[in-house]
Amino acid sequence: MPVRPQSVSRKDRRRESEKLILQAAEKVFAEAGFGGATMQLIADVAGLPKANLHYYFPTKEALYRQVVEGIFHNWLTAADVFDSAPGPVEGIGAYIDAKMEISRRHPDGSKVWASEVMHGAPVIQDYLETTLVDWTEGRMAVIQRWIDEGRMDPIDPRHLLYMLWATTQHYADFGHQIETLNAGTPLSDAQWEAAKASVKAIILKGIGARPSPRS
Amino acid sequence: MPVRPQSVSRKDRRRESEKLILQAAEKVFAEAGFGGATMQLIADVAGLPKANLHYYFPTKEALYRQVVEGIFHNWLTAADVFDSAPGPVEGIGAYIDAKMEISRRHPDGSKVWASEVMHGAPVIQDYLETTLVDWTEGRMAVIQRWIDEGRMDPIDPRHLLYMLWATTQHYADFGHQIETLNAGTPLSDAQWEAAKASVKAIILKGIGARPSPRS
DNA sequence: CCACACTCTGACCAACCGGTCAAGATTTTT
DNA sequence: AAAAATCTTGACCGGTTGGTCAGAGTGTGG
């Protein structure tokens, strides 16, 4: 049996290099913002010469765009739990759990996204106007259905979604402030669970979510 | 009666120039971030030659620091409503109103603050560790008292505060996203009122706030 | 009216930035 | 093993940035 060259084909190496660069870029963009980030610093974090970055990504903006698009993709897919849920307790509860987990595991991505939107979404405005609008309208319809079925109070679905985004992403975007207020130490596992529980408790009770009738 | 030289003394002029520059700086820092902002652009917005900025503020960082300190000051004073309130319905309700109004009237300041914290609070870390910690502990004590008095559910005051900050500031920091989801138009007066009402309704019900017994 | 201190500004500079490129190294194909 | 295609990199470049500075302008106190 001939030993396969452990799958280090050109394409694989290319993908790995791109991934390495994208990870470094996400970190640097999160820490310094687009304007404050430098290709040199990204290169240093990735452990590659700067010229190599420009071989894989022609410009700083192209690299940034790809980072943001990846984050946007995660952002959307992490919300599939919404549709399959029988009611608001399960659906919104699971959505909060999922988004809190993203804030915990990928705070850099959340920060880059926040920064992009705060600066007027210069590179992903088209996504906002198409994909995000569609996604939002779909979830609003789901929430409206729950309201019509009497499973929760008649809350404006739009503002409920904003509140879900705001509260969950806050733990990533303002993680530094939260850490400072936590005696300068990162939240422990128990504290993260407490945060999740608090958010879920307040919101689910706040919208008058009633558990599904079927046990 | 001698006509006073309409108060254009040196000190007044100095104050006016500084204010003009600070306002322009806040806008530019909000739109481009610290790294993306340029002294030249701030000067253009302020309608002054760049060298003049350096006369009043020695460095870009000094200017930025003063902008952030001003925002932090507003941030804190806008929350005095908290203490004088008899219970959570009035106190938290008024706090939400006040912070939503800030998000509406001064979104640039909110964005600069968010950006500063997201990047690790490089210039106001000392304020976070002292003033903000003190402020937060004070309000947590108030909330805890309300809980002990049976005026609301036993929610962790810390996470309640985070939720208040997150939801209200979201309308400023993510204003562009909200506007895009609102058919590309800014929120109308009625929509702002609806947003305030939704946030207050969900949170006040979510924490089980009970109106004050005294009418 | 004059001397003085404060304010303003065009011109300038060293440092740094994103991006280029030619030439060498490496891998795949023939 | 030679040719072709792909990848890697140090050196380099024009443009921009934050910041400086000498000197002109301007209000103020004596």
| Structure confidence at residue B5 (pLDDT) | 40
Distance (Å, whole) CA A197 – CA A205: 12
- Residue A49 Cβ < 7 Å to strand D: yes
| Structure confidence at residue A84 (pLDDT) | 86
Cβ contact, residue pair B120, A198, below 8 Å: no
Contacts of A129 in chain B (CB under 8 A): 180, 184
Mean pLDDT for all residues in chain B: 93
Residue B144, burial from CB neighbour count under 10 angstroms (0-12, 13-18, 19+): middle
| Structure confidence at residue A204 (pLDDT) | 98
Domains of chain B, earliest start first: 10-58 (1.10.10.60), 68-206 (1.10.357.10)
Distance B101 CA to C8 C1' (A): 38
Q: Express each pLDDT in B20-42 by its tens digit.
A: 999 999 999 999 999 999 999 99
| Structure confidence at residue B83 (pLDDT) | 82
| Span B105-110, average pLDDT | 97
What are the residue ranges in chain A where pLDDT is below 50?
Answer: 1-7, 215
Which of B16-20's residues contact partners 24+ apart within 8 Å by CB, and which partners? B17/B48, B17/B52, B17/B56, B18/B56, B20/B46, B20/B47, B20/B48
For chains A and B, what is the number of CB pairs under 8 angstroms?
A: 179
| Structure confidence at residue A63 (pLDDT) | 98
Shortest CA distance from B140: residue in chain A: A181
Pairwise pLDDT comparison (B13 vs B150), residue with the higher score: B150
At residue B207 the predicted structure's pLDDT band, cuts being 50, 70 and 90, is: very high
- Residue A35 Cβ < 7 Å to strand C: no
| Structure confidence at residue B24 (pLDDT) | 98
Distance A55 CA to C21 C1' (A): 12
Q: Express each pLDDT in A84-142 by its tens digit.
A: 899 999 999 999 999 999 999 999 999 999 999 999 999 999 999 999 999 999 999 99
Q: How far is B16 from chain A (nearest CA, A)?
A: 28
- Residue A39 Cβ < 7 Å to strand C: yes
b/e map A1-34, b = 16+ CB within 10 Å: eeeeeeeeeeeeeeeebeeebbbbbbbbbbbbbb
Give the side-chain half-sphere CA count within 13 A for B50. 6
| Structure confidence at residue A80 (pLDDT) | 82
Q: Which nucleotide is nearest to A17 (CA to C1')?
A: D7
ipTM: 0.92
Q: Express each pLDDT in B170-186 by its tens digit.
A: 999 999 999 999 999 99
**In sequence order, what are the residues at sequence separation of 6 or more whose Cβ sits closer than 8 angstroms to the Cβ of residue A180?**
B121, B125, B128, B129, B132, B133
In this prediction, what percent of chain B has a pLDDT beyond 70? 95
Contacts of A162 in chain B (CB under 8 A): 167, 170-171, 174, 178, 195
| Structure confidence at residue A79 (pLDDT) | 82
| Structure confidence at residue A13 (pLDDT) | 83
